[in-house]
């Protein structure tokens, strides 16, 4: 896609699922990729290996490079270190993908303040701080850049039993819009994608059980869950110059989940 070759992209939580697919796709598009992982490097190494294999099959000369950076996005000093490490190696950071995310399931009246804070600290505060450090860098170097937030259909659909997750993704919608508006005249675009049910490790509880998977998919108008690669394709588009005039938007990629599926058949006159 236009304008991606030679750019540097930092992807948080890129050792599995959607983040891994985004890293691989951006490498295929000719981006240098910075693969953030939180704990053990195995998943990140797998991302790197696949990304390089696929990129080198498709990019002439294979100038694509990668960097693995450990860091917990709930820790401010880790984020500063990650952005500095990126700039030290590549000289610049052009694209930030705020993908790292966690969720916990519990009745809202039983969630402890610690549990609540932990989810918000990763999904929302972490995304903001990564964006802040990236924007500082872009302004300093007077470069244009792109930030993409990986939100969720729960940016707009309330999700009982997942109060902190719902709030974090709802907040992410306004994070996208506020930053987009604030930096629109300085060449920084900020957008989001909102995946519906996607087959990744976060959903292991139902993806590996055929009966539960069928139940989940019965709620989706298109009749199936999405794939990480489908999410990554939209991210590549939004990060590219093909989307040069798009900012402040969240693109819902959900097989129709946000279309009020109950209205598939008429139930009221
Ligand atoms: P996943 O569990 O495979 O990926 C989440 C990644 O975030 C993991 O690699 C994990 O190590 C990393 N992570 C967690 N805490 C971190 C921290 N403190 N610092 C750095 N990295 C951290 O699951 P998936 O599905 O790939 O999730 C990616 C994003 O997509 C999340 O933000 C999630 O909320 C969002 N999403 C996923 C959907 C799905 O159905 N799979 C639907 C809607 C949104």
**Distance in Å, CA 161 to ligand 1 centroid:** 18
**CA–CA separation, 112 and 256 (whole Å):** 34
- Residues in the chain, overall count: 269
- Torsion sign across C-alpha atoms 71, 75, 81, 87: positive
Q: Model confidence at 56, in pLDDT bands (50, 70, 90)?
A: confident
CA of 13 to the centre of ligand 1 (A): 6
| % of residues, the chain, pLDDT over 70 | 99
Instruction: Quick: pLDDT tens for 171-206.
Output: 999 999 999 999 999 999 999 999 999 999 889 989
| CATH of 8-257 given 3.40.50.720, 3.40.50.300, 3.10.180.10, 3.30.300.170 | 3.40.50.720
Query: How far is Cα 70 from Cα 13, in angstroms, rounded to an integer?
Result: 10
Q: Which of 14, 11, 24 is nearest to 50 (CA)?
A: 24
Q: How far apart are CA 191 and CA 173, in angstroms?
A: 9
* Helix, coil or strand: residue 1: coil
Q: Find the 173 Cα to ligand 1 centroid distance in Å.
A: 17
Residue nearest to atom 18 of ligand 1 (CA): 72
Ligand 1: atom nearest CA of 198 is 40
Q: How far does the centroid of ligand 1 lie from the alpha carbon of residue 250, in Å? A: 17
H or E segment at 3?
none
The atom number, within ligand 1, closest to the CA of 197 reads 40
pLDDT of residue 268: 83
Catalytic residue among 37, 128, 162, 165: 165
Q: Whose CA is nearest to atom 33 of ligand 1?
A: 101
pTM of the model: 0.98
Q: Which residues line ligand 1 (CB under 6 A)?
A: 12-13, 15-19, 36, 38, 72-74, 99-102, 122, 150, 152, 195, 197-198, 200-203
Nearest CA to ligand 1 atom 6: 13
213-252 b/e (C-beta count within 10 Å ≥ 16 → b): beebeeebeeeebbebebbbbbbbbbbbeebeeebebbbb
Q: How far apart are CA 143 and CA 136, in angstroms?
A: 10
* Known catalytic membership, residue 165: yes
Least reliable range by pLDDT among 17-31, 53-67, 135-149: 53-67
Which residues face 198 on adjacent strands? 226
Which pLDDT score, from 0 to 100, does residue 57 have?
77
Q: What pLDDT band is residue 60 in, cutting at 50, 70 and 90?
A: low
Higher-pLDDT residue of 267 and 36 is 36
> 102 C-alpha to center of ligand 1: Å?
6
Beta strands 95-98 and 8-11 are parallel
Note whether 182 and 210 are within 8 A (CB). no
The closest residue, in CA terms, to atom 19 on ligand 1 is 72
- Nearest CA to 145 out of 126, 125, 131 is that of 131
Contact 48, 36 (CB under 8 A): no
What's the 262 CA to ligand 1 centre distance in angstroms?
28
One-character DSSP codes across 106-136: --GGG--HHHHHHHHIIIIIHHHHHHHHHHH
Whether the pLDDT of residue 115 is over 70: the answer is: yes
Distances in Å between the Cα of 197 and the Cα atoms of 120, 147, 152, 216, 235 are 21, 23, 9, 8, 17
CA distance between the termini of the chain? 47
Q: Which of 11, 17, 118 for mutating ligand 1's site (highest number of atoms within 8 Å of CB)?
A: 17
């Amino acid at each position: 896609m236009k304008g991606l070759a030679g750019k540097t992209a930092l992807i948080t939580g890129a050792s599995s699922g959607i983040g891994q697919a985004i890293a691989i796709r951006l490498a295929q598009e000719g981006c240098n990729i910075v693969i953030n992982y939180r704990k053990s490097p195995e998943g990140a190494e797998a991302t790197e290996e696949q990304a390089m294999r696929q990129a080198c099959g498709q990019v002439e000369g294979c100038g694509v490079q990668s960097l693995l950076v450990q860091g917990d996005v709930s820790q401010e000093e880790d984020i500063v270190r990650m952005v500095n490490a990126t700039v030290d190696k590549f000289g610049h950071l052009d694209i930030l993908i705020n993908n790292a995310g966690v969720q916990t399931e519990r009745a809202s009246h039983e969630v402890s303040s610690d549990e609540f804070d932990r989810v918000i600290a990763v999904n929302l505060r972490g995304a903001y701080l990564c964006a802040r450090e990236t924007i500082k860098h872009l302004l300093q170097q007077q470069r244009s850049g792109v930030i993409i937030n990986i939100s969720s259909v729960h940016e707009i659909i309330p999700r009982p039993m997942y109060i902190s997750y719902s709030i974090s993704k709802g907040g992410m919608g306004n994070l996208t819009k506020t930053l987009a508006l604030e930096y629109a005249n300085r060449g920084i675009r900020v957008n989001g994608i909102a995946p519906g049910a996607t087959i990744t490790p976060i959903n292991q509880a139902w993806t590996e059980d055929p009966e539960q998977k069928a139940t989940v998919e019965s709620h989706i108008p298109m009749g199936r869950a999405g794939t990480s690669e489908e999410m990554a394709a939209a991210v590549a588009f939004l990060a590219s110059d093909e989307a040069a005039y798009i900012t402040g938007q969240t693109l819902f990629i959900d097989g129709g989940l946000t279309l009020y599926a109950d209205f598939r058949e008429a139930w009221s006159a």
